[in-house]
Structure formats: C-alpha cells, structure tokens
A = this chain, B = another copy of it.
C-alpha cells in the first residue's frame, strides 16, 4: 500500500482538490478493490459463511482493523463481493431460439461448476431478503443473468407465462444443484428447452 501515491490521479487544475485527499481517496479505492476481490474469492471458494472480517482481511493482506473501519458489517463485505461480480456469462447468440436457450442454460451450468455461481446464488438468497443493499445487487445480477432468456421468450409470451417459463428454465439447472447436488447433463438441458418450446407453442410441431 505504500506505493498508493503512484496511482494517484494528477490534479492538473489544482482547484478545490486537496492533494492529500486525492491520495487518500486513491488508497481507499485500491483497498476497496483488493478487499472486494478477496471477499468474492472467499465467497466462491468457500461459501458466504466464510466471508468474515478476519478471513477476508487475511486473504486480502490487510488488517482486520482496516476492514472494520471501512466496512463494519459482514453484509458490507458480502455486498462488495457481489458487486465485484462482473457481467454474468452469456452464450453468443446465434439467432435460433432453441440453440440460444440451450446455450444460455449450459453457460449457467458451467458457471456453477467452474465459478461456483451456486454459492453466489445462496449468498444472495440468504442475505437478499434482509439486507436491502444485497437485495439490490441480487436484482442486478439476476436481471443480467436472465436478460437474453427474457428477451427471447418475451417475444412470444408475457405476464405469468413469461415468469413461469423463465423460472422453469433456471430451475432445470438450479434445482438439481440444490436438491441432489448434481448438475444436469446436456440431454436434460435439451429436454427442458424442448418441453418449454412445445409448452409455449413456439415450434409446437417439432420434437
């Protein structure tokens, strides 16, 4: 952290900005970035119950006191971890609804397997209900994750049908993960998409 000054943005105009304040802002910003990354690493690596001040401080290489000073509650750390999640992984759309829905579900499955998105989901489920800030971050993450699916299906169905369809597709991947501790294979993902497409009468004649 001693080299934080080197990253301090130069203050060319020198109007209304104290150099010390700029350095301090840069230091806090860097600390925040380091701690966010560490908190996300702990969250996906071990699960949200491991996201404590002591553990995240150790992983990030800061003192516990520094963490408590800036982010006094565990929900602050979890919020930062969730905010550090970039955009959700998405399949490159090819313009064929069946292919694209299967692609999106495979991406979700693979993100659970390799990035432990299931742990992210469980943290959001656990904390999103009671901590408003986490509820907001969850909304952003879920919206981003569902956006292609909602767009594709929203061209054909709306309202309760659309809500049901989106949840049914997510459920084909999320439910086996939570309920059996297994991920669906390709055949199961394809079966889910085919059931859905026949069910909403898009390509109702294909099998």
By a beta-carbon cutoff of 8 Å, the part of chain A in contact with chain B is 47, 49, 118, 121-122, 124-126, 128-129, 135, 138-139, 142, 159-161, 163-181, 184-185, 187-192, 194-201, 204
B178 touches A121 (CB 8 A): yes
| A167 with B160, Cβ < 8 A, contacts A125-B177, A138-B179, A194-B199 known | no
CB contacts (< 8 Å) of A191 on chain B: these are 160-161, 163-165
Number of copies: 2
A168-B181 contact, Cβ under 8 Å, with A122-B125, A174-B174, A198-B201:
no
Cα-based distance from A122 to B122 in the complex (angstroms): 7
Whether A176 lies near B167 (C-beta < 8 A) is: yes
**Which chain B residues lie closer than 8 Å to A142 at the CB level?**
179-180
Shortest CB distance A111–B (Å): 14
B135 touches A125 (CB 8 A): no
Residues of B within 8 A of A126 (CB): 47, 49, 122
A164 with B179: CB separation less than 8 A: no
